[in-house]
Amino acid sequence: MEQNVPLINVTEELVRGIVRFLLHGPEYPTYCHCEVCEAKASAIALNHLESHYVATVEDRDRAFSYLKQPKQIAEINKQVIHAIHIIGQNTHKS
Ligand SMILES: [Zn+2]
């Protein structure tokens, strides 16, 4: 019997959350907050980061623990901020 097991990139979950948090925060008031710009920033950041695909809840927890180490979080934040700056230079304003 086939089951629909979700395949999740834990890096993507983290990146999308951080992009949303930062774009709606006080640091980027002039940047476009639309879903397209949010997704574009996430895509740029994710193309510069290692993927951590998982198929079970246990592996997801393990990947989260790994990615939440200071060194990993610092790298993720660096790529997200870089990506937001690239998108912020675009003329797309809603
Ligand atoms: Zn936009």
Region 76-92 average pLDDT: 90
pLDDT-based confidence at 3, cuts 50/70/90? confident
Region 27-49 average pLDDT: 93
| 79 in any annotated domain | yes
Ligand 1 centroid distance, CA of 86 (Å): 12
Q: What is the pLDDT of residue 4?
A: 80
**Number of domains forming the structure of the chain:** 1
| 40 in any annotated domain | yes
Ligand 1 centroid distance, CA of 35 (Å): 7
| 68 in any annotated domain | no
- Of 59 and 2, the structure prediction assigns the larger pLDDT to 59
CA distance 52 to 8: 8
Ligand 1 centroid distance, CA of 94 (Å): 6
Ligand 1 centroid distance, CA of 19 (Å): 13
According to DSSP, the residues that pair with 53 across neighbouring strands are 9
Among residues 90, 81, 68, the alpha carbon closest in space to that of 42 is found at: 81
Region 14-24 average pLDDT: 95
Residue 48 pLDDT greater than 70, yes or no:
yes
Q: What is the pLDDT of residue 93?
A: 58
The alpha helices in 1-94, defined as continuous H runs, are: 10-23, 35-46, 57-67, 70-88
Ligand 1 centroid distance, CA of 51 (Å): 25
Query: Which residue segment(s) compose the domain that 86 sits in?
Result: 18-55+73-94
The single residue listed with the structure tokens 């640091």 is 27
Ligand 1 centroid distance, CA of 39 (Å): 9
